[in-house]
Structure 1
Amino acid sequence: MRLLVIGGTSFVGRTIVGDALGRGHEVTTFNRGLTGKDVDGVEALRGDRSTDEGVRPLAGRGFDAVIDPGGLVPAHVLRTARATAGSAPFYAFVSTTAVYRTWNAASTDESAATWPGAADQDGDPADLENLRVHKRGCELAVEQTYGLGACLVARAGSIVGPYDNLGQLPWWLTRIAEGGRVIAPGDPDRGLQLIDVRDLSAFVLDRVEAQAGGIHNVVPDGPNTTMGRLVDGCVRATGSDATPVWMDEGFLLSQGVQPWAELPLWIPDVPDAAGFWAVSGASAAAAGLRTRPFGESVRDTWEWLRSGGAVRTAPGVPPLGLAGEKEQRVLAAWDSRPAGDG
């Protein structure tokens, strides 16, 4: 097939490009040439979809499908979809399960209420505060231009794997590789639901090859690991002598430790987040999603880091992780708490 991949130089996009080339497809990437190096073997077009002039390089080009793995601004996605609607019969957009309004129940499926969005809304790609609304607007931009039968909306959960540009699993691996006592949050048996970027890529390309539209939560159908297994897996992969110190969530919050930002992938176990790690993946499973054992994701991400891989977050996005000095203060406070307290 002749595929147009928007971006295509980092994490999800890079993985999709590599996978597509490996399947024998002809791949053209369309990007500004600022984020990273184009994968060898692609035809690279330069442009900026934030303006009408910026998408002119797409004029007169014909493709079998467009794959948009990273759209963040609805107006940009709408402009891209309109520019390709007459020359590519299918559009695949990688979205996020963050578009759902509530997380208080397990098995949230594709019929659940989403945040409102507007297909023509403009904005700043770095505006992560409004990510959930903007991503829903991006979905609408594709749906309204192509129609659901000719587009795929792949709502990915938390993504891990080589070439990670988010930094969640890489932070745990890097910190645990340093050794010593490591803060571990809450219940080690708390389930997590993580999708390997290579499994996401395979699902998207399978659906593109079949020209099969629809909306799918691209997640394992239920938790596929736990926080305890994640930490233990990082210890094994790195060969570290790190010792996890499992701390009560209430204590961590009392010490000002920020979930997700300072301890990546930690979401406190509260009623409003009861379904955060238990989104329904039944639709994607029925459509052919295959997921690898989570241990492979840990091992391969560590191998990528060891071979020189580095997390390159988007401009303006602060790095994840707990600062060393704060970690030591929290550990000291934990050690000095009254006997019998948590």
Structure 2
Amino acid sequence: MLGGTEFVGRALVDEAVGRGHEVTTLNRGTRAPEQAQVTARHGDRRQPGGLDALTGEWDVVIDTWSSDSYVVSDSVEALKDRVDRYLFVSTRSVYEFPAPVGGDESAPLVEGDPEAGRDGSEVPYGEAKRGSEMAVERVFGDRYVHVRAGLILGPWENIGRLPWWLGRVARGGDVLAPGPEDLPLQYVDARDLAIWTVSAAEKGLSGPFDLVSPPGHTTMGEFLRTCVEVTASDAVLRWAPPELIEQAGIEPWTELPVWIPPGPDHAALHLSDPAKALAAGLHNRPVAETIGDTWAWLQSVGGQAPQRPGRPQPGLDPEKEAEILRTLKS
């Protein structure tokens, strides 16, 4: 497991250890794996000699790298004769944007370069992931799986999307709720991603798979009402039409995490077709379980989720929210 101490990586390690697999992790050593059964090795994959600690042979490697493609290129070269299969946790951002409504693994892909970032240049997220996929493909042939995840939620989230909503709702009072209420949402719980990915390794699956729930697995209304329920908050959801939110200059996705108004951008993120992954065993737990377990985890860590370095904190400024709430009341 390349990584394995935070969010998706942690969920993957938990699942593999829980099934009795022998797990080795490689990370920079800034955080130790919490599972006593794990063999922890340290190395910075960006630095010369960063992979030297990987001595041995393994059946499978799972890689969650999300930045410069050359790092994955170096990893596959180092492991090509000592690993049977390579599973790369990728993203649906590898598809040309906006992806078509009902798009699947056959949708057009962005350009990628397996060596991207080696010269120090900044690489867009989707292109970096696609370049990493290409690096895996050219070395491992058909002995790979690309786990192309959509929006990922669940306990240990270090991006801050669901934690922000839970924190905001828990504070109570009038809460700006971006509509429409029946707007379909599509995501995957990190633990369901982990269950599917470890199973894919055990089954010897190959190729790309879009890991996300069916469209409408939940809605914006159910999502926010569940946040109110699990926090036992006195929050009152004040629904605003997308047009009013746009007029107020509020940014979808960043200032109002998870939410994107109806249109091509929403269709690309929340209306894809995950039939291939579902046929291969993907199960998506109810949204109430994802949100409830995330709230319980937040309480266990003092109510403040860890923030992934280099990623901006999502969420809406309270004064900006108050202003649009006043508009709604008038």
Shift in Å at residue 221 of structure 1? 2.7
State which of 137, 148, 156 in structure 2 corresponds to 1:143.
137
Distance 1:134 1:104, change over 3 A: closer
Distance 1:107 1:8, change over 3 A: same
Question: Matched residues, percent identical?
Answer: 41
RMSD: 1.8
Aligned partner letter, 1:166: I
State which of 2, 6, 16 in structure 2 corresponds to 1:10.
6
C-alpha distance after superposition, 1:275-323 (max 9, x if no partner): 4211111000111111111111011111111111642222232211011
Measure, in 2, the Cα distance between the counterparts of 1:192 and 1:123. 36
- Contact 2:100/2:107 (8 A) holds in 1: no
Range moving further from structure 2, 322-331 or 11-20: 322-331
Aligned partner letter, 1:138: S
**Superposed structure 1 runs of 4+ greater than 4 Å apart:** 123-127
2:78 equivalent to 1:86: no
Aligned partner letter, 2:315: G
2:132 equivalent to 1:130: no
Shift in Å at residue 272 of structure 1? 4.8
- Contact 2:15/2:195 (8 A) holds in 1: yes
Measure, in 1, the Cα distance between the counterparts of 2:270 and 2:121. 25
Match of 1:112 in 2: 107
Distance 1:259 1:123, change over 3 A: farther
Match of 2:151 in 1: 158
Aligned with 2:261: secondary structure?
coil
Match of 1:99 in 2: 94
State which of 184, 204, 211 in structure 2 corresponds to 1:218.
211
2:284 equivalent to 1:294: no
Taking the TM superposition and a 5 Å limit, the aligned residue runs for 1:274-313 are 274-308=267-301, 310-313=304-307
Distance 1:123 1:328, change over 3 A: farther
C-alpha distance after superposition, 1:24-61 (max 9, x if no partner): 01111001012x33122211111111134211212x41
Measure, in 1, the Cα distance between the counterparts of 2:213 and 2:226. 19
Aligned residue pair count: 328
Match of 1:339 in 2: none
Range moving further from structure 2, 189-198 or 212-221: 212-221
- Contact 1:106/1:276 (8 A) holds in 2: no
2:259 equivalent to 1:266: yes
Match of 2:44 in 1: 48
| Structure 1 portions without partners, runs of 5+ | 337-342
Measure, in 1, the Cα distance between the counterparts of 2:271 and 2:317. 30
Range moving further from structure 2, 273-282 or 201-210: 273-282
2:21 equivalent to 1:25: yes
Match of 1:333 in 2: 327
| Structure 2 portions without partners, runs of 5+ | none
- Contact 2:150/2:269 (8 A) holds in 1: no
Measure, in 1, the Cα distance between the counterparts of 2:250 and 2:119. 28
2:184 equivalent to 1:191: yes
Shift in Å at residue 103 of structure 1? 3.0
Aligned with 1:57: secondary structure?
coil
Measure, in 1, the Cα distance between the counterparts of 2:253 and 2:268. 16
Distance 1:261 1:291, change over 3 A: same
Aligned partner letter, 2:170: A
C-alpha distance after superposition, 1:236-256 (max 9, x if no partner): 101111001111111111111
Distance 1:123 1:172, change over 3 A: farther
Aligned with 2:113: secondary structure?
coil
- Contact 2:91/2:148 (8 A) holds in 1: yes
TM-score (norm: length of structure 1) = 0.92
Aligned with 2:84: secondary structure?
coil
- Contact 2:154/2:290 (8 A) holds in 1: yes
Distance 1:144 1:37, change over 3 A: same
Measure, in 2, the Cα distance between the counterparts of 1:272 and 1:198. 26
- Contact 1:194/1:223 (8 A) holds in 2: no
Distance 1:131 1:56, change over 3 A: same
Shift in Å at residue 138 of structure 1? 1.0
Match of 2:310 in 1: 316
Match of 1:340 in 2: none
C-alpha distance after superposition, 1:93-139 (max 9, x if no partner): 00011111133632111011011010111169996x81111111111
Shift in Å at residue 70 of structure 1? 3.2
- Contact 1:47/1:57 (8 A) holds in 2: yes
2:172 equivalent to 1:176: no
- Contact 1:66/1:92 (8 A) holds in 2: yes
Aligned partner letter, 1:133: E
Shift in Å at residue 181 of structure 1? 0.3
- Contact 2:80/2:139 (8 A) holds in 1: yes
- Contact 1:126/1:314 (8 A) holds in 2: no
TM-score (norm: length of structure 2) = 0.95
